């Protein structure tokens, strides 16, 4: 069983990424052949600084290694190092429907918040994402809830490709966690916590110091009630319940039962304490790993070699069945 997922190096990663995606990546190493990449080519679809991008790739790589990715047990690399992704993206464009791309919620949301340019890259982002996954013939894609639609699109692309050119690509399944698949911004609990679009106070960064983490959680926006229960008109409290449940590995019902009658103040403090404790070891390991850029570069380069060995086979097959390039005997 092959698992693939990617994460953007835009800014620093947050608690939503950690709970919704990164913990699944770590667990994936025990469940199958896991392949993960830092998607620098996706990050350039919104305004960015070239020098900062390179630094952010190291930040993100060190964060993932600190969380428990082990280069001996997974393939971990930088997307831009494996040119097969961009070539496959173009080849897949012939079986990607413009109308489907046009329906994507992420494009609608992100294009609305761009101050200068809405790039074509932002529009075709899900096509590159399809190439990322399909290049490895992955069976499973661990992501947060917001990426469900993009995985649906890549499944359509793979199915259309196979129908048009013959069975070549694996149609992947989405894997979304039961709890914590959509952690909300603490200040705007109707929006997901986001690397690029969130509020500063409402976004708990994996690398925030304990005081900052606790302050952000204690000042989370909640309703005027006092019952620690989930509900449609209680987005803020529901989010905190979900966070505590994910961090402790218990069900949201357990959290509601434990804090029945305790009021919001005590509950928020308990969430703050739990998250601080949850992130502390990651932050410590991060500092150590981030200090050695040469080692990070070696890990990413070795990962890219392994990734290329797989992706180049898929691209060769795709070119062959599509009639691109010289005739070659089937591999
Ligand atoms: P942006 O908002 O700029 O797209 P992001 O915060 O979504 O950034 P990504 O690198 O795009 O970060 O996402 C990495 C992974 O984290 C994806 O699998 C995504 O589904 C997941 N994820 C992102 N935000 C959340 C969230 N608020 N809750 C749970 N999972 C999330
Ligand atoms: Mg995202």
Task: Please tell me if the CB atom of residue 21 comes closer than 6 angstroms to any atom of ligand 1.
Answer: yes
Q: Give the Cα separation of 22 and 305 in Å (integer).
A: 23
pLDDT of residue 324: 97
Spatial distance between the Cα atoms of 116 and 136, rounded to a whole number of angstroms: 35
Provide the whole-model pTM: 0.95
Q: Which of 177, 197, 179 is nearest to 187 (CA)?
A: 197
Q: Whose CA is nearest to atom 14 of ligand 1?
A: 7
- Strand order, beta sheet including 140-142: 74-78, 33-38, 2-7, 140-142, 173-175
Residue that the structure tokens 């698949």 belong to: 181
Q: How far apart are the first and last CA of the chain?
A: 22
Which residues lie closer than 8 Å to 43 by C-beta, 6 or more apart? Answer: 8, 9, 10, 53, 56
Cα radius of gyration (the chain): 21
Alpha helices in 68-177 (DSSP H): 84-92, 98-102, 105-112, 120-134, 148-165
Pick the ligand that lies closest to the CA of residue 16. Answer: 1
Is the Cβ–Cβ distance between 13 and 20 less than 8 Å?
no
Sign of the four-CA dihedral 261, 219, 274, 255: positive
Task: List the pLDDT tens digit at each of the 331 positions of the chain.
Answer: 999 999 999 768 999 999 999 999 999 999 999 999 999 999 999 999 999 999 999 999 999 999 999 999 999 999 999 999 999 999 999 999 999 999 999 999 999 988 889 999 999 999 999 999 999 999 999 999 999 999 999 999 999 999 999 999 999 999 999 999 999 999 999 999 998 888 999 999 999 999 999 999 999 999 999 999 999 999 999 999 999 999 999 999 999 999 999 999 999 999 999 999 999 999 999 999 999 999 999 999 999 999 999 999 999 999 999 999 998 665 5
CA–CA distances in Å: residue 178 to residues 191, 246, 249: 19, 9, 11
**Pocket mutation for ligand 1, best pick of 46, 122, 146, 235 (most atoms within 8 Å of C-beta):** 146
Residue 114: its pLDDT value, please? 86
pLDDT value for 313? 98
pLDDT of residue 12: 81
**Count of residues in the chain:** 331
Q: What is the pLDDT of residue 245?
A: 97
Residue 10: per-residue pLDDT: 77
Residue closest by Cα to atom 8 of ligand 1 = 195
Q: Bridge-partner residues for 14, per DSSP? A: 205
Residue bearing the CA closest to ligand 1, atom 12: 195
């Amino acid at each position: 069983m092959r698992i693939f997922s990617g994460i953007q190096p835009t800014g620093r990663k947050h608690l939503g990424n950690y709970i919704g995606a990164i913990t699944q990546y770590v667990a994936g190493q025990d469940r199958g052949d896991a392949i993960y990449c830092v998607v620098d080519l996706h990050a350039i679809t919104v305004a960015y600084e070239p020098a900062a991008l390179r630094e952010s790739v190291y930040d993100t790589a060190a964060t993932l290694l600190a969380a428990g990715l082990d280069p001996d047990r997974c393939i971990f690399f930088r997307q831009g190092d494996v040119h097969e992704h961009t070539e496959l993206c173009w080849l897949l464009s012939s079986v990607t429907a413009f109308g489907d791309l046009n329906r994507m919620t992420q494009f609608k949301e992100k294009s609305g918040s761009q101050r200068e340019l809405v790039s074509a890259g932002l529009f075709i982002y899900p096509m590159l994402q399809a190439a990322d996954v399909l290049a490895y013939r992955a069976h499973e894609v661990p992501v947060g809830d917001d990426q469900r639609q993009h995985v649906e699109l890549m499944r359509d692309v793979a199915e259309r490709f196979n129908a048009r050119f013959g069975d070549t690509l694996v149609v992947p399944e989405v894997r979304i966690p039961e709890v914590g698949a959509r952690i909300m911004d603490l200040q705007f609990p109707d929006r997901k916590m986001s690397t690029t679009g969130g509020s500063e106070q409402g976004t708990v960064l994996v690398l925030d110091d304990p005081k900052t983490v606790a302050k952000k959680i204690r000042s989370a926006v909640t309703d005027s009630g006092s019952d620690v229960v989930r509900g449609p008109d209680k987005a803020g409290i529901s989010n905190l319940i979900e966070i505590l449940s994910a961090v402790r590995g218990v069900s949201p019902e357990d959290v509601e039962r434990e804090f029945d009658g305790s009021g919001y103040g005590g509950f928020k403090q308990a969430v703050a304490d739990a998250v601080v404790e949850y992130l502390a070891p990651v932050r410590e390991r991060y500092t150590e790993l981030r200090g050695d850029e040469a080692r990070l570069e070696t890990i990413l380069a070795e990962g890219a070699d392994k990734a290329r060995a797989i992706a180049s086979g898929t691209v060769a097959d795709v070119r062959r069945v599509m009639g691109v390039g010289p005739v070659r005997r089937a591999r």
